[in-house]
Every structure is written in structure tokens, then in C-alpha cells.
Amino acid sequence: MPQQRKSMHGEWSSRWAFILAATGSAVGLGNIWKFPYITGENGGGAFVLVYLACIAIVGIPIMMAEVMLGRRGRHSPINTMRLLAQESGRSPAWQLLGWGGVLAGFIILSFYSVIAGWALAYVLEAASGAFVGGEADRIGALFGGLLGNPVTLISWHTIFMAMTVFVVARGVEKGLERAVRVLMPALFALLLLLVGYAMNSGYFTDGLAFLFKPDFSKISAEGVLIALGHAFFTLSLGMGAIMVYGAYLPQKASIATTTVTIAAADTLVALLAGMAIFPIVFANGLEPGAGPGLIFQTLPIAFGQMPGGLLFGTLFFVLLSFAAWTSGISLLEPAVAWLVENRGLSRVVATVGCGGIIWLLGLASALSFNIWSDFTLFGKTIFDNLDFLASNIMLPLGGLLIALFAAWLLPRAISHDELAMREEGTYALWLFMVRYITPVGVSLVFLNAIGLI
Ligand code: TRP
């Protein structure tokens, strides 16, 4: 077997640094903004159950595969796939998987940055006392006012993209580690505080019932596809973000343990967010299916009413913006790593170039919340279409190909060696999952959603 490679982009200082960075990538708007609103739109409990099943059956095995391929290849996902295909005697066309990932990353970051801009805008709103009192209609009007103003939305989108470009241009391993170590636990503590508030809202059991009592008549085939797509989205899978972070993982770190830790932390944050939000929704007579604005219309009510809400609310939106930031950089890194490797560009030039393209694409999403809101395709706005295409089609498809490559084409000696499981049985289980269960599961959901079965 060829000797192990080294990454030209550097390496994490330890296994913990990788766990922090990958958790920083996984935990973001997907957990706190997207999970509650799509759960609300898809009827609650049954959707949550399907989502949890997707994390366990599809997400964790694919995450292990992605980290494993990344560490073996030690390059950007495009080059990693090219090198590993070569090493396995397969077609160089496998590098297209890396290209698809770059495209998916661009699309996701373009709208992600717009939503992260809302979080940034809410830092100022919270700090200026705009939530005090917390009347539901006033909070709703405040959010409507933000969405209706394209200049404000684009300004915040620009600021978020600039922040993201700044970190990626410096190299992701610098600075990130220290920040994640402090701010993630703080975000977690604030979520617990919000759940505490929700417990006293008088509607906590209604919220829990909505989240955890499955009613399968409420979920459609499209809902199942959205749950699957979200398992990829929330764990940052299917486009090479985790693969490129894996490329910087020290050789001796255990992939299985780190993966399970990251997936567990990510799931916990999403469930806590749901437990905080739905009781507030029901206590204030709001609509669970209100859409992308859900957390921006509910959490300010809680902050507006609780003692110390000015401070906690400000802090919460600071931390949410930060969580979005550590996710955004992982969406950009695969493309930048490739440009540095193959085009000899400096990191700064590569990052600014990619950032500019993504910023431009983001304008379409920003405008789809106001002046272009009537422009729809398949009954969805531009934002909804970009999200659906990238999250529910491109990510699962990318994940499917990653699973097929890792399980069927990569020589078993390599995956066995990289995963280095303590128990043989664990390796056999992983192999069985990525060979059969994961591909069949993803394919069934796809076929079902397009009406073929
Ligand atoms: N997982 C992040 C979140 O939940 C978003 C994200 C970061 C992502 N990197 C990704 C999604 C790569 C898909 C692919 O907010």
C-alpha cells in the first residue's frame, strides 16, 4: 500500500481541534434556524423521527466514509477523489464528485449567508431593546420590516460573506480552534436557558408532543426527502466539507469516535432548539409552519419577556451568528483548497474570488424575500429552489456516491487501515451499512419522492 500523504494546507493540532472544527461546521443555522422551521412545515413528530433515523442510518456511516476518504487523500475533495480513484484503479471521472461538491457548497453558502445576515441584524435589534415587551405582533412586524428591505438584507449578507472570506483566507486552522472551544458551550448554555423559559410558558408539553409524538399521516414523500436532505445538511455531508476537514486530521485520531461525538452534539443542539421554540409558538398562537422566519418571530418574544432578556437576546444572536460563521467557512474551503493546489493561486486571491461569486449568487436569495418574492418556479421562491436543489438533491446524491466509492471501489485494505477500529465487528458493521443500507435507503427515498415507488 502506498505511504501516507501529507496535506499542503496544514494539519489540526490534535484530534480535539478536528472535533471542534467539524462540530463548528455541523452546528449552525441548520440546527437552530432550519430544523425547527422545516419540522413545523412538515407536521412535527413523524418528520423528527425520520430525521433521527436518517442521522443514524445514513449520516453517521457517510460521515465516517467522508472523513476516511479525506484523510487518505489529504487534498481538496476534487484531488482527493482523483488520487483515490487512481490508487484504486478506477476512473478519473470520480473527481466530478468533488466538482459537484464545490457547486453545492457555492449554492448553499449563497443563501446561508443571507440568513446569517438576519442573525447579524438581530444582534443590533436585540441590543437596542427592540424586543422588550415581546408582543408577538410587534415582533412579527419587525421581522417583516427586515425582509422587506433589500438594501439592509444585502448589506448584512455582504458583511457575513466578508467575515467568511476573512477566515478562509487566513487558513481555517488558525484562530478557529480557540473560538469554537469557548463559544460553542456558551451557545449550548443559552439554548438551555431558552428551554427553561419554554418550560414555564405553560405550553411545554404541547411543544414536546408536537416534536416527539409521531403522526405519520402528516408526512409526505417530499417530507421524507426533506428529512434525509436535512440529515446531510446538518452534518455538513455530501459536498466535501467534512472530507476537506478530514484531510487535515492527524493520522492517529480515531475516525469512528470523533464522528459519533460530532453527530451526537449536532443532534442535541437541534432537539434543544426545537424544545425551546415550539412551546413559544403555541403559547403565542403562532403558526408552526410559518417558514424560514420561524425562530426570528418566536425567540425575540421569549427574550422580550424574560428578565435579563436584553443581555441574553443579544448574546444569543451573537452566538448564532458565530455558529453560522464556523459553518460558512467549511462551505468555502473545498473550492479554495483546490484553487491553491491546482491553479497556484494564493489563498487570499482564491478566497476573495470564490467569495465574490457566491456573494453575487446570494443577491438572488436576498431579493427573493422582497422584490422578487412573486417570482416562483414549481411553486417555490428562488431561495426555496436553491435550498431544495442543493440540500435535498445534490447533497444526498453526493453522499450516495461517496458511500458507493468508499464501500465498493476503494480497496478494503485502505478503509480498514484508515478506520482502524478497535473491534473487527465495528468495521464489519460500518462496511455493511455503507455497502447496503445507506445506498438502498437514499435511493428508496429518492424514487419515492419523484413518485416512482
Ligand atoms: N451544517 C451546517 C448547519 O447545519 C451547514 C453546513 C456547513 C453545510 N457546511 C456544510 C451543509 C456542508 C452542507 C454541506 O448549519
In a domain, 225, yes or no: yes
In a domain, 9, yes or no: no
Is the model more confident about 181 or about 70? 70
147 C-alpha vs ligand 1 centroid, how far in Å?
23
Is 234 near ligand 1, meaning CB less than 6 Å away? yes
Q: Which residues contact 349 (CB under 8 A, 6 or more apart)?
A: none
202 C-alpha vs ligand 1 centroid, how far in Å?
34
In a domain, 374, yes or no: yes
Q: With 90 as the cut, is the pLDDT of residue 301 above it?
A: yes
**Cα dist. 448→222, 350, 360 in Å?**
8, 40, 35
For residue 330, give the ligand 1 atom closest to its CA.
9
Q: Which domain holds residue 408?
A: 15-449
For atom 8 of ligand 1, which residue has the closest CA? Answer: 236
Q: With 90 as the cut, is the pLDDT of residue 448 above it?
A: no
Pocket test for ligand 1, best of 233, 242, 243, 271 (most atoms within 8 A of CB): 233
In a domain, 6, yes or no: no
For residue 391, give the ligand 1 atom closest to its CA.
13
CATH number where 28 lies: 1.20.1740
236 C-alpha vs ligand 1 centroid, how far in Å?
4
Maximum CA extent, the chain: 66
pLDDT tens readout for residues 93-114: 999 999 999 999 999 999 999 9
Number of folded domains in the chain? 1
Alpha carbon dihedral 436, 99, 68, 10, in 10-degree steps, equals: -170
Q: With 90 as the cut, is the pLDDT of residue 224 above it?
A: yes
pLDDT tens readout for residues 67-90: 999 999 999 999 999 999 999 999
Give me the pLDDT at residue 3, please: 60
Specify whether the CB–CB gap between 210 and 288 falls below 8 A: yes
Is 321 near ligand 1, meaning CB less than 6 Å away? no
Instruction: Please give the model's pTM, rounded to 2 decimal places.
Output: 0.94
In a domain, 10, yes or no: no
In a domain, 8, yes or no: no
The proportion of the chain whose per-residue pLDDT surpasses 70, expressed as a percent, equals 98
pLDDT tens readout for residues 21-54: 899 999 999 999 999 999 999 999 999 999 999 9
Is 29 near ligand 1, meaning CB less than 6 Å away? yes
**C-alpha to C-alpha distance for 424 and 266, rounded to whole angstroms:** 27
30 C-alpha vs ligand 1 centroid, how far in Å?
7
Neighbours of 280 (CB within 10 A): 27
Is 330 near ligand 1, meaning CB less than 6 Å away? yes
Q: How confident is the model at residue 409 (pLDDT cuts 50, 70, 90)?
A: very high
251 C-alpha vs ligand 1 centroid, how far in Å?
24
Give me the pLDDT at residue 253, please: 87
